[in-house]
Every structure is written in structure tokens, then in C-alpha cells.
Copies of this chain bind each other. A is one copy, B any other.
Amino acid sequence: MARMTHQAGIALGVGFRVLANSATDSAALVCGDVHLGDDRGLPDLLAFAKSCDVLTFDHEHVPEPVLRELERVGVMTRPDRAALVYAQDKLRMRVRVEELGAPCPRWRAVTAIDHVEAFAGQTGWPVVLKAARGGYDGKGVWVVDSAAEALEVLERAAQAEVPLLVEEKVGFTRELAVQVARSPYGQVAAYPVVETVQRGGICHEVIAPAPGLDEDKAVRAQELAIELAHALDVVGMLAVELFETESGVVVNELAMRPHNSGHWTIDGARTSQFEQHLRAVLDLPLGSPRSTAPFTVMANVLGGADSDVYSRYVHVMAKDPELKVHFYGKEVRPGRKIGHVTAAGDDHGELLARVRDAAAYLKGDQQ
């Protein structure tokens, strides 16, 4: 994310400095002003922040006590701690989003298996267990079919000191996402509502705008995101992940940063989410979120078994000169997001087929 934000910062002519864990981090490879250090730890963040006007994050992993201390010594973080907690802690997010009257799945905090069983007694199995913060084994969401499965998650979460909540498994027709930017001044810009295609808990493709989405529903989703941005006092990009159901939309997750569901904006919107995030956190006027094509479709490129992605990349470029290829400079590991591809045009079905084909070829699934 920081890598692509740096790209946007170059055009804006703003000073952009990155705190990276390692010199081989995606952004550290390309950014002209890199500090190495622990991007979640107070000492390095404090030292780094001294040289910045504004601090923003491309992840949710800076612990709240660290954010609190940064705030105490006068470091300007955007979004600030008070907003970020709702992107960091799913329990607090649920409490607050429900308070605000936004549609949520049924949910409750759980500390014992009885809680899950009682909840599933009302909603039926399967139910979804979520880590409120963090997770274990690199996972934070578990769909469980029975009390036995739930118990296993609870035990491992307790060992890892991860607080849990349970949510009903929403019977959605598809997943949507909507992004808005909000400036400190309170200006907002809403991007078109997109469809996100998830497989195995990973976002594989994004179609912008969501095909066939009822205009009223789309506007209501945008309004919902704007209301949340104002109510939570978000500064920067806010992504609201939604389930579309027969009766409307339901809030799934929030992210307060550029988001995978908005990568299409680099090639498909007048102002990319990365430029927009910078404009917002720097208190500049926001840019137009208008789409530049009827449809823009993005597919994530995942690493496959064969790490030699660059030899396949030539063939993808040769086959589809209209395709935009974005690589993050990451070491290839199976299942890791190492880039994305985008296509724009009139026919979302044809675009989806093209980006899927390219992403699969780059992964090494098709030879």
C-alpha cells in the first residue's frame, strides 16, 4: 500500500517518507526516503514521526497504547487513534456501528463455548468466529459448523490471548465494498460501489461498479459509508465491506486506509485511492472519484509454486496490451498477494475473464 501511495505522492510533489521493517519491503524498494525500524513499536515510530508533519498507516497493527502515546506527545496521526480503534478492534466496531444504526449481522462477544452454542441456537449453524484483534496462525476468521469446531477455535484463541466475537453467517447474494475519502475539514468523496469476489477468504477480483446494482441501493451504500466516516471521524480513506442480501446491505468490515477493493482506482478513476488518501491526510481538497471507464475490473495476482513470475509476465503483456500490470516487488510465496492486474472497458464479463486469465497465468496455474 505504501508503495502505491508513494507513486501517487510523486505526482503531488509531496515529501513522502516510509518507515519500513526491512529494506526489501515493497515500499522500501522504490521510495527515496526510507527509515528502517519497527513500524508497530513506540521508539521507532516516535523517532520517525519527529521528521514528519503527518503520520498515516497502511495497516491496522499499531497497538492502541502506542497510538495513545504518539497522540500524547503531539504526533499528528491521520486517521487518529479515536477513529482507528474501530478498524483495529472488531468488537468495538460492532458496538459502535450498531449504535449508529447501521445494518450489522447479529453478533456477540464470546469468552466461553456456552456463548457460541446459545448464539447458534438462535441463528443456526454454521456461525462465524472472529478475532476482535489479531488472530493466530495468520487467520482471524473461522466459519464453524459445530460446537466441537468452535471449541477448538476458542481454546487456541485463549492461548493466543485473542478476544473473540461470534457473528451469524449472513446469507448474502454477493459481497460489495464502498470507499469514501474524508478530509479533516469534513469534505467527502464517495467512490462507486464495487463487487468483490472472495474465494477462501481472499479477495480475488473486484468489479467496479458492481454490475446490475440497483441505483438506490448503491446510493444508500455510499450514504452509509459517508455517515460512518463522519460519525467515526475518519480522515483518509475508509473502506466499508458489505454483504448484499435480499433486503439490503449489511456491514461486514471496516478499513481506514487504501484497500484492496480500491486498487482498480489507479487505472479506472480520475483520482486513485492512494492519491485521495494523501490528499485527505494532508488536508488538501479531495479529487474527483469519478470512473474513467464504464467498468474497471481488478484481479489480485497471487504467488504460486513457481516463483519465476517475470518470465510469465512477458506473455501476459503480449497477449493483452490493454491490461495494466502492477507488481509489488515482493518475494513470491504461494498464496501471497504479489501484484494485481486491471482491465477497463464496457463489458464486465469479458474484462473479468481477461484479468482472471492473466492472474492465473502469472500465478502459474495455466501454462
Cβ–Cβ contact B7 & A317, under 8 A: no
Complex Cα–Cα for A339 and B324 (A):
25
Complex Cα–Cα for A286 and B9 (A):
26
Complex Cα–Cα for A30 and B30 (A):
8
- A112 close to chain B: CB less than 8 A: no
Assuming the A-B contacts A321-B285, A322-B270, A325-B11, are A29 and B30 also in contact, with contact meaning beta carbons closer than 8 angstroms in the complex? no
Cβ–Cβ contact B270 & A326, under 8 A: no
Assuming the A-B contacts A32-B29, A344-B292, are A12 and B287 also in contact, with contact meaning beta carbons closer than 8 angstroms in the complex? no
- A3 close to chain B: CB less than 8 A: yes
Q: How many copies of this kind of chain does the complex include?
A: 2
Cβ–Cβ contact A339 & B13, under 8 A: yes
- A148 close to chain B: CB less than 8 A: no
Cβ–Cβ contact B317 & A284, under 8 A: yes
Specify which chain B residues have a CB less than 8 angstroms from the CB of A271 in the assembled complex: 321
A191 to chain B, nearest CB (A): 13
Specify which chain B residues have a CB less than 8 angstroms from the CB of A16 in the assembled complex: 30
Residue from B3, B28, B286, B327 within 8 A of A12 (CB atoms): B327
Complex Cα–Cα for A249 and B195 (A):
49
Cβ–Cβ contact B7 & A10, under 8 A: yes
Q: Chain A at the B interface: mostly helix, strand, loop or mixed?
A: mixed
Residue from B11, B313, B322, B327 within 8 A of A7 (CB atoms): B11
A298 to chain B, nearest CB (A): 13
Complex Cα–Cα for A290 and B16 (A):
31
Cβ–Cβ contact A285 & B314, under 8 A: yes
Specify which chain B residues have a CB less than 8 angstroms from the CB of A285 in the assembled complex: 314, 317-318, 321
> A interface vs B, CB < 8 Å?
3-4, 6-7, 9-13, 16, 28-32, 34, 189, 266, 270-271, 279, 284-288, 290, 292-293, 310, 313-314, 317-318, 321-322, 324-329, 339, 344
3 cross-chain pairs, A with B, having the tightest CB-CB distances, nearest first: A13-B327, A285-B318, A285-B317
List 18 A-B residue pairs with CB atoms under 8 Å apart, sorted by A's residue number.
A4-B10, A6-B10, A7-B10, A11-B325, A11-B326, A13-B326, A29-B32, A30-B32, A31-B32, A270-B322, A270-B344, A284-B313, A284-B314, A285-B321, A286-B321, A287-B322, A290-B322, A292-B344
